[in-house]
Structure 1
Amino acid sequence: MSYPDVTALVTGGASGIGAATAARLRAAGLRVVTADLAPGADEKLDVIDPASVDALRDAIGPVGILVNSAGVVGPSRPLIDLDLDEWQATFRVNVDGTFLLCRAFAPGMVAAGWGRIVNLASIAAKDGNPTQSAYSASKAAVIGLTKSLGKELATTGVLVNAVAPAAVETPMNADTDPAILARSQSLTPMGRFGRAEEVAELVAWLCSPAVSFSTGAVYDISGGRATY
Protein backbone atom coordinates (compact mmCIF):
# COMPACT_ATOMS: atom_id res chain seq x y z
CA MET A 1 0.00 0.00 0.00
CA SER A 2 1.64 3.24 -1.14
CA TYR A 3 0.78 6.69 0.12
CA PRO A 4 0.94 9.89 -1.93
CA ASP A 5 3.83 12.28 -1.47
CA VAL A 6 2.31 14.29 1.37
CA THR A 7 3.19 15.37 4.89
CA ALA A 8 1.39 13.75 7.81
CA LEU A 9 0.77 15.72 11.00
CA VAL A 10 0.13 13.79 14.22
CA THR A 11 -0.89 15.72 17.32
CA GLY A 12 -0.21 14.15 20.68
CA GLY A 13 2.67 12.54 18.84
CA ALA A 14 5.16 12.42 21.71
CA SER A 15 3.73 9.26 23.27
CA GLY A 16 1.01 6.65 23.23
CA ILE A 17 -1.21 6.21 20.19
CA GLY A 18 0.17 9.37 18.59
CA ALA A 19 3.77 8.19 18.77
CA ALA A 20 2.83 4.71 17.53
CA THR A 21 0.91 6.22 14.62
CA ALA A 22 3.80 8.49 13.71
CA ALA A 23 6.19 5.53 13.70
CA ARG A 24 3.82 3.48 11.55
CA LEU A 25 3.39 6.27 9.00
CA ARG A 26 7.12 6.91 8.87
CA ALA A 27 7.67 3.22 8.22
CA ALA A 28 5.35 3.59 5.23
CA GLY A 29 7.67 6.25 3.82
CA LEU A 30 5.74 9.36 4.76
CA ARG A 31 7.22 12.58 6.06
CA VAL A 32 5.68 12.85 9.50
CA VAL A 33 5.57 15.84 11.84
CA THR A 34 4.64 15.18 15.45
CA ALA A 35 3.23 18.01 17.54
CA ASP A 36 2.79 18.01 21.30
CA LEU A 37 3.38 20.02 24.45
CA ALA A 38 5.35 17.10 25.88
CA PRO A 39 9.07 16.74 25.16
CA GLY A 40 10.10 14.60 22.23
CA ALA A 41 7.77 15.95 19.53
CA ASP A 42 9.03 17.59 16.36
CA GLU A 43 7.01 20.73 17.02
CA LYS A 44 5.69 22.24 20.24
CA LEU A 45 1.94 22.75 20.00
CA ASP A 46 -0.80 23.79 22.38
CA VAL A 47 -3.87 22.45 20.59
CA ILE A 48 -6.24 24.75 22.50
CA ASP A 49 -4.44 27.93 21.40
CA PRO A 50 -5.57 29.17 17.95
CA ALA A 51 -2.41 31.22 17.52
CA SER A 52 -0.23 28.19 18.23
CA VAL A 53 -2.18 26.09 15.71
CA ASP A 54 -1.97 28.78 13.02
CA ALA A 55 1.75 29.24 13.66
CA LEU A 56 2.30 25.51 13.17
CA ARG A 57 0.35 25.56 9.91
CA ASP A 58 2.45 28.46 8.66
CA ALA A 59 5.66 26.72 9.72
CA ILE A 60 5.10 23.30 8.16
CA GLY A 61 2.85 24.19 5.24
CA PRO A 62 0.06 22.02 3.81
CA VAL A 63 -0.43 18.49 5.06
CA GLY A 64 -2.21 15.62 3.35
CA ILE A 65 -2.83 13.61 6.49
CA LEU A 66 -3.97 14.90 9.88
CA VAL A 67 -4.27 12.62 12.90
CA ASN A 68 -5.83 14.32 15.92
CA SER A 69 -4.49 12.18 18.74
CA ALA A 70 -3.91 14.85 21.41
CA GLY A 71 -6.27 14.28 24.31
CA VAL A 72 -6.79 14.11 28.05
CA VAL A 73 -8.76 11.77 30.27
CA GLY A 74 -9.91 14.55 32.56
CA PRO A 75 -11.42 14.09 36.02
CA SER A 76 -12.61 10.68 37.18
CA ARG A 77 -15.34 11.56 39.65
CA PRO A 78 -19.15 11.59 39.71
CA LEU A 79 -20.63 14.36 37.59
CA ILE A 80 -22.18 16.12 40.60
CA ASP A 81 -18.69 16.51 42.09
CA LEU A 82 -17.12 18.15 39.03
CA ASP A 83 -16.17 21.80 38.77
CA LEU A 84 -17.14 23.61 35.59
CA ASP A 85 -13.49 24.47 35.02
CA GLU A 86 -12.56 20.76 34.99
CA TRP A 87 -15.37 19.99 32.57
CA GLN A 88 -14.39 22.80 30.23
CA ALA A 89 -10.68 21.94 30.38
CA THR A 90 -11.43 18.43 29.13
CA PHE A 91 -13.54 19.78 26.28
CA ARG A 92 -10.92 22.37 25.35
CA VAL A 93 -8.30 19.73 24.62
CA ASN A 94 -10.44 16.92 23.24
CA VAL A 95 -12.97 18.94 21.24
CA ASP A 96 -11.66 22.47 20.72
CA GLY A 97 -8.23 21.11 19.83
CA THR A 98 -9.68 18.79 17.21
CA PHE A 99 -11.80 21.63 15.81
CA LEU A 100 -8.88 24.04 15.58
CA LEU A 101 -6.60 21.56 13.81
CA CYS A 102 -9.30 20.57 11.33
CA ARG A 103 -10.14 24.20 10.66
CA ALA A 104 -6.50 25.06 10.07
CA PHE A 105 -5.48 22.18 7.81
CA ALA A 106 -8.60 21.00 5.98
CA PRO A 107 -8.60 23.92 3.50
CA GLY A 108 -5.16 22.94 2.19
CA MET A 109 -6.34 19.37 1.67
CA VAL A 110 -9.42 20.55 -0.19
CA ALA A 111 -7.26 22.77 -2.40
CA ALA A 112 -5.06 19.78 -3.21
CA GLY A 113 -8.06 17.53 -3.91
CA TRP A 114 -6.89 14.82 -1.53
CA GLY A 115 -6.58 14.39 2.20
CA ARG A 116 -7.21 12.15 5.18
CA ILE A 117 -8.27 13.29 8.66
CA VAL A 118 -8.50 10.75 11.48
CA ASN A 119 -9.83 11.86 14.85
CA LEU A 120 -9.24 9.82 18.00
CA ALA A 121 -12.51 9.27 19.84
CA SER A 122 -13.18 6.51 22.39
CA ILE A 123 -15.54 3.64 23.09
CA ALA A 124 -16.55 5.78 26.08
CA ALA A 125 -18.23 8.10 23.58
CA LYS A 126 -20.69 5.32 22.79
CA ASP A 127 -20.95 3.52 26.12
CA GLY A 128 -20.41 6.36 28.58
CA ASN A 129 -17.95 5.50 31.34
CA PRO A 130 -19.31 6.06 34.83
CA THR A 131 -17.38 8.76 36.73
CA GLN A 132 -15.91 9.95 33.43
CA SER A 133 -18.72 12.13 32.13
CA ALA A 134 -16.45 14.90 30.84
CA TYR A 135 -14.26 12.47 28.91
CA SER A 136 -17.19 10.45 27.56
CA ALA A 137 -19.12 13.54 26.48
CA SER A 138 -16.10 15.20 24.90
CA LYS A 139 -15.29 12.13 22.85
CA ALA A 140 -18.94 11.90 21.78
CA ALA A 141 -18.53 15.47 20.54
CA VAL A 142 -15.50 14.37 18.52
CA ILE A 143 -17.68 11.74 16.86
CA GLY A 144 -20.32 14.35 16.04
CA LEU A 145 -17.68 16.69 14.61
CA THR A 146 -16.27 13.86 12.50
CA LYS A 147 -19.65 12.92 11.05
CA SER A 148 -20.47 16.53 10.22
CA LEU A 149 -17.12 17.39 8.66
CA GLY A 150 -17.07 14.11 6.75
CA LYS A 151 -20.34 15.09 5.08
CA GLU A 152 -19.16 18.65 4.41
CA LEU A 153 -16.04 17.42 2.59
CA ALA A 154 -17.51 14.28 1.00
CA THR A 155 -17.03 15.44 -2.60
CA THR A 156 -13.63 17.08 -2.17
CA GLY A 157 -11.35 14.04 -2.00
CA VAL A 158 -10.82 14.61 1.73
CA LEU A 159 -12.04 11.81 3.99
CA VAL A 160 -12.74 12.35 7.69
CA ASN A 161 -13.11 9.36 9.99
CA ALA A 162 -12.81 8.56 13.68
CA VAL A 163 -11.31 5.70 15.64
CA ALA A 164 -12.90 4.64 18.92
CA PRO A 165 -10.54 2.51 21.03
CA ALA A 166 -11.38 0.78 24.27
CA ALA A 167 -8.76 1.13 27.03
CA VAL A 168 -5.24 1.12 25.62
CA GLU A 169 -1.94 0.82 27.47
CA THR A 170 -0.70 4.40 27.10
CA PRO A 171 0.83 7.09 29.33
CA MET A 172 -2.51 8.95 29.15
CA ASN A 173 -4.08 6.15 31.18
CA ALA A 174 -1.28 6.02 33.74
CA ASP A 175 -3.25 8.20 36.16
CA THR A 176 -6.69 6.82 35.32
CA ASP A 177 -8.62 5.35 38.24
CA PRO A 178 -7.68 1.63 38.34
CA ALA A 179 -11.33 0.76 38.94
CA ILE A 180 -12.27 2.37 35.64
CA LEU A 181 -9.57 0.45 33.80
CA ALA A 182 -10.60 -2.79 35.50
CA ARG A 183 -14.20 -2.20 34.43
CA SER A 184 -13.11 -1.61 30.84
CA GLN A 185 -11.08 -4.81 30.79
CA SER A 186 -13.96 -6.79 32.28
CA LEU A 187 -16.21 -5.60 29.43
CA THR A 188 -13.68 -6.62 26.77
CA PRO A 189 -14.19 -10.16 25.44
CA MET A 190 -10.49 -10.44 24.58
CA GLY A 191 -9.76 -9.84 28.27
CA ARG A 192 -6.89 -7.40 27.81
CA PHE A 193 -6.08 -3.79 27.04
CA GLY A 194 -5.28 -2.70 23.53
CA ARG A 195 -1.79 -1.74 22.44
CA ALA A 196 -0.94 1.57 20.85
CA GLU A 197 0.58 -0.10 17.81
CA GLU A 198 -2.67 -1.99 17.18
CA VAL A 199 -4.59 1.27 17.04
CA ALA A 200 -1.87 2.76 14.84
CA GLU A 201 -2.44 0.06 12.23
CA LEU A 202 -6.10 1.01 11.92
CA VAL A 203 -5.27 4.72 11.80
CA ALA A 204 -2.63 4.13 9.12
CA TRP A 205 -5.16 2.25 6.99
CA LEU A 206 -7.68 5.07 7.32
CA CYS A 207 -4.97 7.51 6.24
CA SER A 208 -4.20 5.53 3.12
CA PRO A 209 -5.51 5.59 -0.47
CA ALA A 210 -6.86 2.09 0.20
CA VAL A 211 -9.81 3.77 1.90
CA SER A 212 -11.81 5.67 -0.69
CA PHE A 213 -15.54 5.24 0.05
CA SER A 214 -15.75 5.83 3.78
CA THR A 215 -16.12 9.20 5.43
CA GLY A 216 -17.83 10.42 8.59
CA ALA A 217 -17.52 6.90 9.98
CA VAL A 218 -16.45 5.59 13.39
CA TYR A 219 -14.19 2.54 13.53
CA ASP A 220 -14.21 0.66 16.82
CA ILE A 221 -11.08 -1.08 18.05
CA SER A 222 -12.19 -2.60 21.30
CA GLY A 223 -11.26 -6.26 21.55
CA GLY A 224 -14.88 -7.20 20.93
CA ARG A 225 -16.44 -4.79 23.44
CA ALA A 226 -18.28 -2.80 20.77
CA THR A 227 -20.84 -4.75 18.77
CA TYR A 228 -22.81 -1.89 17.24
Structure 2
Amino acid sequence: MKLIDLQGRRVLITQSSDFMGPALQRVFGALGATVVADPRPLGDHPALARQVVSEAGDVDVLIAHLALPAPTTSLADVDDDEWRRAFAHLVDPLPRLARAVLPGMRARRAGRIVVIGSAAALRGMKRTSTYSAARGAQLAWVRAAGTELAREGITLNAIAQNFVDNPTYFPPEVQANPAFQERLKREVPLGRLVSGDEDALFAAYLASDAAACFVGQVFPVCGGWVS
Protein backbone atom coordinates (compact mmCIF):
# COMPACT_ATOMS: atom_id res chain seq x y z
CA MET A 1 0.00 0.00 0.00
CA LYS A 2 1.36 3.38 -0.98
CA LEU A 3 0.69 5.70 1.94
CA ILE A 4 1.55 8.95 0.19
CA ASP A 5 -0.18 8.95 -3.17
CA LEU A 6 -0.79 12.34 -4.74
CA GLN A 7 -1.46 11.13 -8.27
CA GLY A 8 -4.18 13.24 -9.85
CA ARG A 9 -4.14 15.83 -7.06
CA ARG A 10 -3.93 19.49 -7.97
CA VAL A 11 -1.84 21.25 -5.33
CA LEU A 12 -1.50 25.00 -4.89
CA ILE A 13 1.63 26.18 -3.06
CA THR A 14 1.63 29.87 -2.16
CA GLN A 15 4.72 32.11 -1.91
CA SER A 16 6.53 29.25 -3.60
CA SER A 17 9.96 30.83 -4.16
CA ASP A 18 10.69 31.40 -0.47
CA PHE A 19 11.05 29.40 2.75
CA MET A 20 10.00 25.77 2.05
CA GLY A 21 8.59 26.49 -1.41
CA PRO A 22 11.33 24.87 -3.53
CA ALA A 23 11.39 21.69 -1.42
CA LEU A 24 7.60 21.44 -1.41
CA GLN A 25 7.46 21.78 -5.19
CA ARG A 26 10.12 19.14 -5.68
CA VAL A 27 8.63 16.57 -3.29
CA PHE A 28 4.99 17.02 -4.26
CA GLY A 29 5.91 16.79 -7.94
CA ALA A 30 7.89 13.59 -7.35
CA LEU A 31 4.84 12.07 -5.64
CA GLY A 32 2.69 12.62 -8.69
CA ALA A 33 0.85 15.82 -7.84
CA THR A 34 0.10 18.53 -10.36
CA VAL A 35 1.81 21.44 -8.63
CA VAL A 36 0.67 25.02 -9.13
CA ALA A 37 3.36 27.21 -7.60
CA ASP A 38 2.63 30.90 -7.12
CA PRO A 39 5.60 32.98 -5.92
CA ARG A 40 3.77 36.15 -4.92
CA PRO A 41 3.71 37.22 -1.25
CA LEU A 42 0.10 37.72 -0.23
CA GLY A 43 0.36 40.34 2.48
CA ASP A 44 0.40 43.62 0.60
CA HIS A 45 -2.73 43.18 -1.52
CA PRO A 46 -5.92 41.90 0.18
CA ALA A 47 -7.48 40.77 -3.10
CA LEU A 48 -4.45 38.76 -4.20
CA ALA A 49 -5.29 35.55 -2.32
CA ARG A 50 -8.54 35.11 -4.23
CA GLN A 51 -6.77 35.93 -7.48
CA VAL A 52 -4.08 33.31 -6.85
CA VAL A 53 -6.68 30.63 -6.17
CA SER A 54 -8.75 31.65 -9.18
CA GLU A 55 -5.73 31.46 -11.47
CA ALA A 56 -4.76 28.06 -10.03
CA GLY A 57 -8.08 26.48 -10.95
CA ASP A 58 -9.93 23.93 -8.86
CA VAL A 59 -7.39 22.70 -6.29
CA ASP A 60 -7.55 19.54 -4.21
CA VAL A 61 -4.82 20.63 -1.81
CA LEU A 62 -3.87 24.07 -0.56
CA ILE A 63 -0.43 24.48 0.97
CA ALA A 64 -0.82 27.78 2.78
CA HIS A 65 2.85 28.65 2.78
CA LEU A 66 3.61 32.16 4.02
CA ALA A 67 6.97 33.57 4.99
CA LEU A 68 8.53 36.79 6.23
CA PRO A 69 12.06 37.52 7.43
CA ALA A 70 11.69 37.30 11.19
CA PRO A 71 12.09 40.62 13.00
CA THR A 72 14.51 40.54 15.94
CA THR A 73 13.37 43.74 17.61
CA SER A 74 13.44 43.96 21.39
CA LEU A 75 10.01 44.07 22.99
CA ALA A 76 10.09 47.74 23.96
CA ASP A 77 11.10 48.79 20.45
CA VAL A 78 8.41 46.95 18.46
CA ASP A 79 6.35 49.57 16.66
CA ASP A 80 2.92 49.34 15.08
CA ASP A 81 4.30 49.05 11.55
CA GLU A 82 6.38 45.98 12.39
CA TRP A 83 3.45 44.35 14.19
CA ARG A 84 0.97 45.04 11.39
CA ARG A 85 3.40 43.88 8.71
CA ALA A 86 3.93 40.50 10.39
CA PHE A 87 0.21 39.87 10.75
CA ALA A 88 -0.53 41.17 7.25
CA HIS A 89 1.89 38.69 5.68
CA LEU A 90 1.51 35.67 7.95
CA VAL A 91 -2.05 35.74 9.28
CA ASP A 92 -4.40 37.85 7.16
CA PRO A 93 -4.00 35.70 4.00
CA LEU A 94 -5.25 32.53 5.75
CA PRO A 95 -8.99 33.28 5.89
CA ARG A 96 -8.80 34.85 2.44
CA LEU A 97 -7.26 31.70 0.98
CA ALA A 98 -9.80 29.53 2.80
CA ARG A 99 -12.76 31.53 1.47
CA ALA A 100 -11.39 31.10 -2.03
CA VAL A 101 -10.73 27.33 -1.98
CA LEU A 102 -13.63 26.14 0.14
CA PRO A 103 -16.44 26.34 -2.44
CA GLY A 104 -14.74 23.77 -4.67
CA MET A 105 -13.71 21.54 -1.78
CA ARG A 106 -17.18 21.64 -0.29
CA ALA A 107 -18.75 20.74 -3.61
CA ARG A 108 -16.57 17.61 -3.73
CA ARG A 109 -16.77 17.04 0.03
CA ALA A 110 -13.03 16.54 -0.07
CA GLY A 111 -9.95 18.67 0.37
CA ARG A 112 -6.72 19.19 2.25
CA ILE A 113 -5.33 22.43 3.66
CA VAL A 114 -1.87 22.40 5.23
CA VAL A 115 -0.44 25.52 6.86
CA ILE A 116 3.34 25.72 6.99
CA GLY A 117 3.83 27.44 10.33
CA SER A 118 6.56 27.85 12.89
CA ALA A 119 7.55 26.31 16.20
CA ALA A 120 8.46 29.83 17.28
CA ALA A 121 4.87 29.92 18.52
CA LEU A 122 5.49 26.94 20.81
CA ARG A 123 8.62 27.99 22.70
CA GLY A 124 9.57 31.40 24.01
CA MET A 125 12.56 33.13 22.49
CA LYS A 126 13.96 36.58 23.13
CA ARG A 127 13.48 39.34 20.55
CA THR A 128 10.82 37.42 18.60
CA SER A 129 7.60 38.77 20.11
CA THR A 130 6.20 40.05 16.81
CA TYR A 131 7.04 36.98 14.74
CA SER A 132 6.04 34.50 17.43
CA ALA A 133 2.70 36.23 17.96
CA ALA A 134 1.85 36.09 14.26
CA ARG A 135 2.90 32.46 13.98
CA GLY A 136 0.87 31.69 17.10
CA ALA A 137 -2.20 33.27 15.54
CA GLN A 138 -1.75 30.97 12.55
CA LEU A 139 -1.82 27.90 14.77
CA ALA A 140 -4.83 29.10 16.77
CA TRP A 141 -6.70 29.65 13.50
CA VAL A 142 -5.83 26.14 12.33
CA ARG A 143 -7.17 24.56 15.50
CA ALA A 144 -10.45 26.46 15.36
CA ALA A 145 -11.05 26.34 11.61
CA GLY A 146 -10.05 22.68 11.39
CA THR A 147 -12.85 21.66 13.73
CA GLU A 148 -15.40 23.41 11.51
CA LEU A 149 -14.36 21.65 8.32
CA ALA A 150 -13.80 18.07 9.42
CA ARG A 151 -17.34 16.78 8.86
CA GLU A 152 -17.31 18.15 5.32
CA GLY A 153 -14.45 15.86 4.30
CA ILE A 154 -11.94 18.71 4.45
CA THR A 155 -8.95 18.54 6.77
CA LEU A 156 -6.94 21.52 7.96
CA ASN A 157 -3.71 20.98 9.87
CA ALA A 158 -0.39 22.72 10.41
CA ILE A 159 3.31 21.99 10.58
CA ALA A 160 5.07 24.06 13.24
CA GLN A 161 8.69 23.92 12.19
CA ASN A 162 12.04 25.24 13.24
CA PHE A 163 15.60 24.23 12.47
CA VAL A 164 14.56 23.01 9.03
CA ASP A 165 16.96 23.60 6.16
CA ASN A 166 15.59 26.46 4.04
CA PRO A 167 17.03 29.57 2.35
CA THR A 168 14.83 32.12 4.13
CA TYR A 169 15.63 31.42 7.78
CA PHE A 170 18.78 29.28 7.58
CA PRO A 171 20.69 30.35 4.44
CA PRO A 172 24.10 28.81 3.68
CA GLU A 173 26.05 31.62 5.34
CA VAL A 174 24.16 31.05 8.61
CA GLN A 175 24.67 27.30 8.45
CA ALA A 176 28.41 27.77 7.84
CA ASN A 177 28.82 29.84 11.00
CA PRO A 178 30.54 27.77 13.74
CA ALA A 179 28.42 29.53 16.37
CA PHE A 180 25.28 28.30 14.63
CA GLN A 181 26.60 24.75 14.51
CA GLU A 182 27.29 24.94 18.24
CA ARG A 183 23.76 26.22 18.78
CA LEU A 184 22.39 23.22 16.88
CA LYS A 185 24.31 20.83 19.12
CA ARG A 186 23.19 22.71 22.23
CA GLU A 187 19.49 23.31 21.49
CA VAL A 188 18.36 20.64 19.03
CA PRO A 189 18.29 17.04 20.27
CA LEU A 190 18.57 15.78 16.69
CA GLY A 191 21.90 17.61 16.42
CA ARG A 192 21.31 18.81 12.88
CA LEU A 193 18.81 20.64 10.73
CA VAL A 194 15.79 18.71 9.53
CA SER A 195 16.21 18.44 5.76
CA GLY A 196 13.86 20.23 3.42
CA ASP A 197 12.77 16.93 1.92
CA GLU A 198 11.98 15.43 5.34
CA ASP A 199 9.75 18.39 6.12
CA ALA A 200 8.10 18.42 2.68
CA LEU A 201 7.41 14.69 2.86
CA PHE A 202 5.50 15.20 6.09
CA ALA A 203 3.49 17.97 4.43
CA ALA A 204 2.75 15.56 1.59
CA TYR A 205 1.57 12.96 4.10
CA LEU A 206 -0.84 15.49 5.64
CA ALA A 207 -2.09 16.27 2.13
CA SER A 208 -2.77 12.60 1.36
CA ASP A 209 -5.70 10.30 2.07
CA ALA A 210 -3.57 8.51 4.66
CA ALA A 211 -3.90 11.51 6.98
CA ALA A 212 -7.69 11.77 6.86
CA CYS A 213 -8.02 11.35 10.64
CA PHE A 214 -6.18 14.53 11.65
CA VAL A 215 -8.36 17.51 12.54
CA GLY A 216 -7.03 20.97 13.39
CA GLN A 217 -3.76 19.57 14.65
CA VAL A 218 -0.35 21.20 14.94
CA PHE A 219 2.67 18.99 14.33
CA PRO A 220 6.10 20.25 15.47
CA VAL A 221 8.85 19.40 12.98
CA CYS A 222 11.97 20.73 14.65
CA GLY A 223 14.37 17.96 15.57
CA GLY A 224 13.07 17.86 19.15
CA TRP A 225 13.51 21.57 19.81
CA VAL A 226 10.11 21.78 21.54
CA SER A 227 10.03 18.25 22.98
Are the equivalent residues in 2 in contact too, given 1:94–1:139 (CA < 8 A)? yes
SS in 1 for 2:36: strand
TM-score, structure 1 length as denominator?
0.87
5+ residue gaps, structure 2: none
CA distance in 2, matches of 1:28, 1:11: 18
Bigger drift between 10-19 and 136-145 goes to 10-19
What CA RMSD, in Å, does the superposition of the two structures yield over aligned residues?
A: 2.2
Q: What is the aligned partner in structure 1 of residue 127 from structure 2? A: 131
Bigger drift between 28-37 and 166-175 goes to 166-175
Q: What is the aligned partner in structure 1 of residue 153 from structure 2? A: 157
Question: For 2:77, which of 72, 76, 81 is the aligned residue?
Answer: 81
5+ residue gaps, structure 1: 38-44
Bigger drift between 165-174 and 113-122 goes to 165-174
Q: 1:162 Cα shift?
A: 0.3
Question: For 2:108, which of 112, 118, 123 is the aligned residue?
Answer: 112
Large movers: runs of 4+ above 4 Å: 178-185
Whichever residue aligns with residue 116 of structure 1, its letter is: R
TM-score, structure 2 length as denominator?
0.88
Spell out, residue by residue over 1:131-166, the C-alpha distance to the aligned partner (whole angstroms, 9 max, x if none): 011111111111111011110101011000000112
Whichever residue aligns with residue 30 of structure 1, its letter is: A
Q: What is the aligned partner in structure 1 of residue 203 from structure 2? A: 203
CA distance in 1, matches of 2:84, 2:183: 25
Q: What is the aligned partner in structure 2 of residue 71 from structure 1? A: 67
CA distance in 2, matches of 1:92, 1:3: 31
Q: What is the aligned partner in structure 1 of residue 225 from structure 2? A: 225
CA distance in 1, matches of 2:111, 2:73: 39
CA distance in 2, matches of 1:180, 1:91: 28
Cα distance change, pair 215–4 in 1 and its aligned pair in 2 (3 A): farther
CA distance in 2, matches of 1:200, 1:208: 12
Are the equivalent residues in 1 in contact too, given 2:116–2:160 (CA < 8 A)? yes
Are the equivalent residues in 2 in contact too, given 1:75–1:132 (CA < 8 A)? yes
Cα distance change, pair 78–195 in 1 and its aligned pair in 2 (3 A): same
Spell out, residue by residue over 1:37-96, the C-alpha distance to the aligned partner (whole angstroms, 9 max, x if none): 3xxxxxxx5354232222222222221101111211331021111111011101111111
Whichever residue aligns with residue 131 of structure 2, its letter is: Y
Cα distance change, pair 180–110 in 1 and its aligned pair in 2 (3 A): farther
Equivalent positions of 1:10-159 (< 5 A) are 10-37=13-40, 46-159=42-155
Question: Identical aligned pairs, as a percentage?
Answer: 31
CA distance in 1, matches of 2:57, 2:28: 18
